[in-house]
Structure 1
Amino acid sequence: MMHSVESLEKELARLRCRPRAEAATPVLGEFTVDVAGEPAPYVDRVRAVLSAAVALGATSEFEGQDLPVESIPGWFIAVSSGQGGSPPEFSRNGRDLYVSYTGWVPWGIQDWLYRFAPEEESRGWEWWDATLVGPSRVRVWVDCWGESFFGCEELRWLLCTAGAVHVDGPAVRDVEDWVAETKDGPADAT
């Protein structure tokens, strides 16, 4: 799946502010995430990392060199590179959760950031929204272009390392499921 600078700019806008229901596609991908503690700080951490990565995707040259990481939160750099000190406990636990789910080694920060290059085809999703659906549960909604199977391991890595204790998904859901969670439900983290 190809992303463009324009699509990255729209994704960045959705990271900053919940999109209107009229802008949604008929279906969205959904991850249900259980977190340790309050869900709002969890969503803030996810948004902070994704906002920085998507902004890099829209503005940086991806020519095989290291991308700048100054805008990436320090905890994510630490868990994704082993640099910058010891990651916080929530992030270390999330790294272990990801490895137990996948059996893979943890992501490196540069490999992870390169998934946000406009011409990168392996990232099969764009951020749509997050809804708080319980005292320790979040739903993360992504535009997956209606596909039931799409590349999303970079997102799973972030969801785990931001403080998840369990991640289900992705599942393809009708957009009305998202709309229902944005009306009269718990407030968004923005």
Structure 2
Amino acid sequence: MPHAVPCDVYVDRLRSMLDVALGLALSAGLDEEELPTAAVPQWFAAVSGPRFAEAPVFARWGGERYATAVRGGPGNSTPGSTSSTPTPRPGAGHGGT
């Protein structure tokens, strides 16, 4: 497990990706075949594609945790379920803790 990072480092990483996502959502049409990716942070591009092994440790660790949660990690699915959609957990929505 990677070491915890200072809050400001985490916030900077999160904002770097959210800024790009919001910019694309506001400017790119959904009918475009390819979205512009030049502004996507390199760590996110690496962890989201075939260069996963080249991504920084924090990104690989987060990517693995996300994949586990989406594919039925603890609290996200019923044993034997074939659904890839996570089951909502109490308090997991907006404003929940």
Distance 1:63 1:56 in 2: 13
The CA deviation at 1:85 is 7.1
**Aligned counterpart, 2:92:** 170
Distance 1:55 1:170 in 2: 26
Q: CA RMSD in A?
A: 2.7
- The runs of 5 or more residues in structure 2 that have no matched partner are 73-85
Deviations 1:130-170 (A, max 9, x none): xxxxxxxxxxxxxxxxxxxxxxx8xxxxxxxxxxxxxxx63
Amino acid at match of 1:170: A
Match of 1:48 among 16, 23, 41: 16
Whether 1:67 and 2:35 are equivalent positions in the alignment is: yes
Residues 95, 84 of structure 1: alpha-carbon distance in 2 compared, 3 angstrom cutoff: closer
Question: Percent identity between the aligned chains?
Answer: 30
Match of 1:78 among 29, 32, 46: 46
- The runs of 5 or more residues in structure 1 that have no matched partner are 1-34, 105-152, 154-168, 175-190
Residues 83, 61 of structure 1: alpha-carbon distance in 2 compared, 3 angstrom cutoff: farther
Partner SS, residue 92 of structure 2: strand
Deviations 1:41-80 (A, max 9, x none): 1111111111111111111122141101101101001111
**Aligned counterpart, 1:94:** 62
Amino acid at match of 2:66: Y
Distance 1:56 1:64 in 2: 11
Partner SS, residue 51 of structure 1: helix
Partner SS, residue 61 of structure 1: coil
Distance 1:42 1:84 in 2: 20
Residues 60, 97 of structure 1: alpha-carbon distance in 2 compared, 3 angstrom cutoff: same
Residues 84, 74 of structure 1: alpha-carbon distance in 2 compared, 3 angstrom cutoff: farther
Q: Is the 8 A contact 2:47 2:53 kept in 1?
A: no
State the structure with bigger RCO (CA 8 A, min sep 6), 1 or 2: 1
Q: Is the 8 A contact 2:47 2:55 kept in 1?
A: yes
Return the TM-score normalized by structure 2: 0.65
Q: Is the 8 A contact 1:74 1:84 kept in 2?
A: no
